[in-house]
Structure 1
Amino acid sequence: MTASTPGPVPTLSLLGTTALLFEAPGALELHSQQRIWALAQEAAGWPEVREAVPGMNNLMLSFVRPPRTLDALKARLEAAWEAVTPLAREGRVVELPVIYGGAGGPHMADVVAHTGLSIENIVELHSAPLYPVYALGSHPGYCYLGGMDPRIATPRRKVPVLSIPGGAVSIGGAQTGVSASAGPSGWNTIGTTTMAFFDPARNPPATLQPGDRIRFLVEGIEA
């Protein structure tokens, strides 16, 4: 890249009048997510910021009061993004036993059909990585994970399921995750596990935090 060819730049957009979304340029990967964590840590200390919430390759800022102009804040965010050192968090490793397929994995057949792989191959590829927790969101305690093998990537469902149980292990596009509670989902559920991901009586209430890692253990495979 030459000096006359600018690289990709972040995107900023308003979320109503009291919040802003900073979207990082480039592909979703751990290095970029670590920069998001670092930017969140820095921006959380700015006087106009009420809360800095890291998402998947993005950062949401809510304000103590709506800024009069975004120009100064935009320039400050872009400068901070260029200057931050990726924050390498070494959190806990949590092992989750999973029963793949069967009644708890009703969409395994769809993943098989899309990938052309056997159930055994899919289970082997899905359970091999140590998945970093990139961010929390979607619903309380839910973890967005990175690191899934692209060979088992499967598009989200055209018609979402109205309710899947807590502990449902699913694939949506290039990502995988575990539902923290019952609710609707457009992902492909391939198995099930048991874990209390969220408890409002705890501090913090979410069991896992960005930087923690998940390993799926094969407890069983059902047809």
Structure 2
Amino acid sequence: MADTLPPPRLLPSGDSAITVEFSRTIDDTANRKVLALDRALSAAPIAGITETVPTYRSLLVHYDPLVIDYDALGPQLLVRASGPLALEATTRRWRIPVCYGGENGIDLEDVAKALSTTPDDIAARHAAGRYRVAMIGFTPGWSYLSGLDKFLHMSRRESPRLLTPAGTIAIGGIQTGIQCLAGPSGWHLLGRTPVRTYQLHRQPTFLLEPGDEVTFYAVDIKMFTEQERAAAAGEIIAERIAA
């Protein structure tokens, strides 16, 4: 598919960071380029860069201004971002269980009513999707996934909740996501997964990475409870699928 993105642009971000922006909207092509640039900078570092943070459509590059300044670093980043970037050669694929509806998905019925269908149809459509981990952010392990069925696109809640459960699977706008830790959310809660995408004393600490592929499958409350117990003990409940 031809590259229809505009040329990347640089945005100063304070006195020690630069944002390399590939798109002004959520776009999988832009996200692949973000991740490719992140890998390229890791493989062939530029002196003075201290950290890179990939997002949906841009890469935030932190640098030490005592080693390199904006005027020196910016052009180097623009050259790399504008040139050919090696997209991911291999993709890790994960299959993740979800207990939809009931106390685990308190918005499922309201979402079904808003979209003039049934809770079972919403759950089936969501579970049928094939998603990409576009970025990790907000809280540890919070995985933002692209690829949501257009039928399920809907505005976020008018009144965000101050606390939603760990493991929540939710939709908001054109995205779906996995919320690893309990926290606030303005998204619509469809279900919960026992999978810990982040677990401090487990190896690996972070399960999912940007660029990974995710599919979901429905489980009942009994299976969810059993898997939740196993996950709490450190087991990796998500299934790694061969390419």
TM-score if structure 2 supplies the norm length? 0.79
RMSD across aligned positions (CA): 2.2
Q: 1:19 aligns with which of 17, 20, 31?
A: 17
* Cα distance, 1:83 vs structure 2: 0.8
Aligned partners of 1:167 and 1:192 also within 8 Å: yes
Structure 2 CA distance for partners of 1:220 and 1:154, relative to 1, 3 Å: farther
Over 6 Å off, 4+ runs: none
Bigger drift between 166-175 and 30-39 goes to: 30-39
Distance in 2 separating the partners of 1:133 and 1:13: 24
Residues 36-185 of structure 1 correspond to what in structure 2 (within 5 A)?
36-44=34-42, 45-65=45-65, 70-185=70-185
What letter is aligned with 2:217? L
Q: 1:34 aligns with which of 32, 35, 56?
A: 32
Contact 1:34 1:86 in 2 (8 A): no
User: What is the CA–CA distance in structure 1 between the aligned matches of 2:207 and 2:73, rounded to whole Å?
Assistant: 33
AA aligned opposite 1:51: E
Q: Which sits farther off after the overlay, 42-51 or 22-31?
A: 22-31
CA 1:26–1:16 in structure 2 vs 1: closer, same or farther (change >3 Å)? closer
CA change 1:179–1:119 in 2 (3 A) is: same
Match of 1:59, SS state, is strand
1:208 CA drift (Å): 1.0
TM-score w.r.t. length of structure 1: 0.86
- Following the alignment from structure 2 to structure 1, what is the Cα–Cα distance between the partners of residues 115 and 9? 33
CA contact (8 A) 2:99 2:193 kept: yes
Distance in 1, Cα, partners of 2:14 & 2:157: 30
Q: Secondary structure at the match of 1:38?
A: helix
Unaligned runs of 5+ in 1: 1-6
Identity %: 31
Distance (Å, rounded) in 1 between the aligned partners of 2:109 and 2:86: 39
Q: Deviation at 1:93?
A: 2.1
Q: Relative to structure 1, is the Cα distance of residues 130 and 66 closer, same or farther in structure 2, using a 3 angstrom cutoff?
A: farther
1:78 shift after superposition: 2.5
CA contact (8 A) 2:169 2:178 kept: yes
Q: What displacement does 1:116 show? A: 2.1
Q: Distance in 1 between matches of 2:175 and 2:133?
A: 11
Residue identity matched to 1:201? H
The alpha-carbon distance between structure 1 residues 176 and 207, as it changes in their structure 2 partners (threshold 3 A), is same
Measured in 2, the distance between the counterparts of 1:124 and 1:101 equals: 12
**Which stretches in structure 2 are left out of the alignment for 5+ residues?**
222-243
Tell me the SS of whatever aligns to 2:132.
Answer: strand
Secondary structure of 1:138's counterpart equals coil
The 2-side partners of 1:184 and 1:198 are apart by 17
Q: In 1, distance between residues paired with 2:132 and 2:139?
A: 18
